[in-house]
Amino acid sequence: MRSSRGLKAVGRNVLRKDGVEKVSGAARYIDDLSFPNLLHARTIRSTIPSGHVVDIQYHGDTTGFTIVDHRDVPGRNIVALIDDDQPCLAERTIRHFAEPIVLLAHENRERLNAVDVQIAYREATPNFDPAASKTSFKTIAIEKGSLDEGFAAADVVVEGEYRAGHQEQLYIEPNGAIAVPAGGGITLYGSMQCPYYVHRALKVLLGLPDHKVRVIQTETGGGFGGKEEYPSMIAGHAALLALKAGRPVKLVYDRVEDMVATTKRHPAVIHHRTGVTRDGRLTAIDIDALFDGGAYATLSAVVLSRGLIHASGPYRCDHVRIRGRAVMTNTPPNGAFRGFGAPQTQLAAEIHMDRIAGQLGLDPVRVREINALRPGDTTATGQRLGDCSALQVLRAAVERSAFKRRRRALAGTNRGIGLALFFHGSGFTGGGEVALASKASLALTGRGARIFVASTEIGQGTRTMHAQIVADTLGVPYDCVEVNAADTGEVPNSGPTVASRTCMVVGRILQRCAEEMRERLGTLTPGEYLRTHGPLVITKQYEKSSAIAWDDHSYRGDAYGSYGWACDVVEVEVDPDTWQVKPTAFTTVHEIGKAIHPMLASGQIEGGSAQGIGYALFEEVVMRDGRMANCQLTNYIVPTTLDTPAIDVVMLENPYKHGPFGAKGVGEMPIDGPAPAIINALRHMGIDLREIPATPEKIMAASAERTGSGITKSRSARRYTKPSSKTLHALREKP
């Protein structure tokens, strides 16, 4: 690994590759594209949560329409992912509200929307309660040491149950795809994170060979996991219509359809039972987690896996048992969302930690200092940590936020301060990266090089960060490195753009490509090499470090190549009239190995923290009879400018030797911490809340039973400030 000295691009805030197009309105998102003879499409969905389709009737003029149902599927009628349980179009059985049944296409949108499709059902009794579910998608147990021994050594046992609701990814650009028939196959344009997921799903659905399916990512207006697996569904729908009609078909959801039908973060109930000595040392951790997977398996198994591996938090303990299940309910399937199970489990772990501190009469910093993982310690899966920055981020955040002084100063007011210490594994869990066997290519150009990866730019800065890594490794200026479109016809499969892996894993493969290219060039410039030797393309595949070992059967070993470490400190103020919580100060310290582009990395941390604030306070998915009742931005509230405090970001660097220039992942970790930090700030005020979102109603109920100082209009309270119109709206409109 090179030192940062002499680096011209890495570590600097170079201009992002796609910046000019995005600020000028020239960037082309899926809905900005059009094709000759384009048809528009519409999805007809179930209006019941459970039952069978009995009859389908079309009312209105359907001449000239292309109509597709499950009988038109040429291959297998599934959305190919992990378990092949989800049909692309429902055949007879309905397992959730808004399940797609029939597809319509027509060139005229007014006529398309004028047709009324009546579906008769035989209804079955739905189950919306995960605890009552009889179907498990996945069960996992992680065991370390002996619980009996651990509890025998404990002076105190602390127990508690914590709950998190759904969360909508709410990328501002809804899901969309355009399918174009081409030479007996299909070319699919779409807003997505994982072109090769869509590629595989289309091959299976359409029964086509590799070369007959081409998937091209268009500029993507946010993903956050919401465009990890769902695009395979919408792409399949557009492709089925396009093949039947023999014309291009555009299918772009409006906001309501996107919120009602697409995946969300898994709701979870997590039970902790912890043994602890009087002086604050953890002796036994017993955790039971229940994740609501919704109607189909999607990614529930791996969400559960990441969730459980992070469930005991960044703490050392010799005796741990973590058990969990992801189960089926008759609600729309839940899926990937930034954090991928870890925000739910670390919410529970960190609220629980403050409750332990409270019971022992220790301060929250002290109990974490005693138990934080140190280099040489082992995690719940038995992974021995070489590097570990848990204590460093904790101490840096406590100092920078003046946590202890503020905690004393705010005591007894309607303001509180709380913290959360957390970690996040980079890359696929366990043997995932080996199974993916990702490839990346680098082609020599006259000026420098061109990057070929399927890793997508979804706002986080993939193109920019990859180009920086290649530029400095190859020794050419950043502007001389180009990035090819994520087009499966041109780029190798560098794996999905998920799991905080795009920089650490794919960036490292690119770095190895650039290292070899540098060697081949010798003393020649790229132009000279091309003139003398002709074209040069270098392709490399992921190589596992020999130090990483994982056993998927026993769930033991090195769950991740490396972990990022972080600590959030949040100050909140509760309005004594409306019970509305307003975060007033936010400090976060992240250790991410190396910030390739400090501004982009900081942008991930700020944005992820804001999403975490929404998860903690505002973002409530109201499910009524298996259907999202508040499926609009009018009543599903995400943080606005007025709800988001200034976020003070500190990045620490502790290079990871297998990451490019020492970099680890950064995308997901920021969303793990804000919710527990905010709930712990409420606890500082004497409000015992164990559930998010912490809506005013829940805080009011919890405050009624409060024991501590609590909320009064004391003189030290700040002057009343008017809540934002959006949050007031939330209070009025809550369904």
Which residues would be at the binding site for another protein (CB under 8 A)? Answer: 13, 15-16, 18-29, 31-32, 169-174, 219-224, 254-255, 458-461, 479, 599-600, 602-603, 606-611, 632-634, 638-642, 644, 646-647, 724-726
Q: Among residues 288 and 648, whose Cβ is nearest to another protein?
A: 648
Q: Is 6 exposed, middle or buried (0-12, 13-18, 19+ CB in 10 A)?
A: exposed
> How many Å apart are CA 637 and CA 467, to the nearest integer?
36
Q: Which is nearer to another protein, 1 or 15 (CB)?
A: 15
- Measured from the CB atom, is 323 or 447 closer to another protein? 447
* Strands across the sheet containing 537-541: 481-483, 449-452, 439-444, 537-541
Q: How far is the CB of 633 from another protein (least distance, A)?
A: 4
Which phi-psi region, left, alpha or beta, contains residue 225 (left: φ > 0; alpha: ψ -120 to 50)? left
Instruction: Determine the Cα–Cα distance for residues 638 and 616; give it in Å rounded to an integer.
Output: 11
In terms of Cβ atoms closer than 10 Å to its own Cβ (0-12, 13-18, 19+), residue 159 is exposed
Question: Cα separation of 245 and 648, whole Å?
Answer: 54
Residue 288 pairs with which residues in a beta bridge?
A: 271, 323
Q: Which is nearer to another protein, 31 or 387 (CB)?
A: 31
Least Cβ distance, residue 591 to another protein (angstroms): 19
Task: Provide the minimum distance between the beta carbon of 219 and another protein in the complex, in angstroms, as a whole number.
Answer: 7
E strand or H helix at 259, and its extent?
helix 255-261
Report which of 458, 39, 442 is spatially closest to residue 218, judged by C-alpha positions.
458
Closest approach of Cβ 602 to another protein, in Å? 7
**Which helix (H) or strand (E) covers residue 674, if one does?**
helix 674-684
DSSP state, 597? S
Smallest separation (angstroms) from another protein to the CB of 111:
15
User: At closest approach, how far in Å is the CB of 239 from another protein?
Assistant: 23
How many other C-beta atoms lie within 10 A of the C-beta of residue 346? Answer: 30
Per this entry, what is the length of the chain?
Answer: 735
Taking the least distance from each CB to another protein, the nearer of 69 and 168 is 168
Nearest distance from C-beta of residue 14 to another protein, angstroms: 9
Rounded distance between C-alpha atoms, residue 52 and residue 30, angstroms: 34
Q: Which is nearer to another protein, 411 or 633 (CB)?
A: 633
Indicate the residue among 24 and 57 with the shorter CB distance to another protein: 24
CA distance 370 to 582: 31
Considering beta carbons, is residue 38 or 140 the nearer one to another protein? Answer: 38
CB 535 within 8 A of CB 444: yes
The alpha carbon dihedral of 505, 509, 512, 514 has a sign of: negative
Q: Which of 506, 509, 530 is nearest to 520 (CA)?
A: 530
Joined together, the tokens standing for residue 239 give: 């492709």
Least distance in Å: CB of 174 to another protein?
Answer: 8
Tell me the C-alpha distance between 44 and 257, whole Å: 11
> By the 8 A CB rule, do 694 and 581 touch?
yes
Q: Which is nearer to another protein, 220 or 438 (CB)?
A: 220
Instruction: Compute the least distance from the CB of residue 457 to another protein, in Å.
Output: 8
Neighbours of 96 (CB within 10 A): 24
C-alpha to C-alpha distance for 178 and 40, rounded to whole angstroms: 9
Q: How far is the CB of 45 from another protein (least distance, A)?
A: 18
**DSSP-assigned letters across all residues of 155-174:** SEEEEEEEEE--B----SSP
Residue 511 CB, shortest distance to another protein, in Å, is 24
Cβ atoms < 10 Å from Cβ of 404: 15
Q: What's the closest the beta carbon of residue 638 comes to another protein, in angstroms? A: 6
If the CB atoms of residues 173 and 433 are measured against another protein, the closer one turns out to be 173
Give whichever of 82 and 112 is closer to another protein, judged by the CB atom. Answer: 112
CB of 183 to another protein, least distance (A): 28
- Closest to another protein by CB, 375 vs 446, is 446
Dist. CA 666–CA 669, nearest whole Å: 6
Positions of E strands within 639-693: 647-652, 691-692
Q: Select 118 or 634, whichever has its Cβ closest to another protein.
A: 634
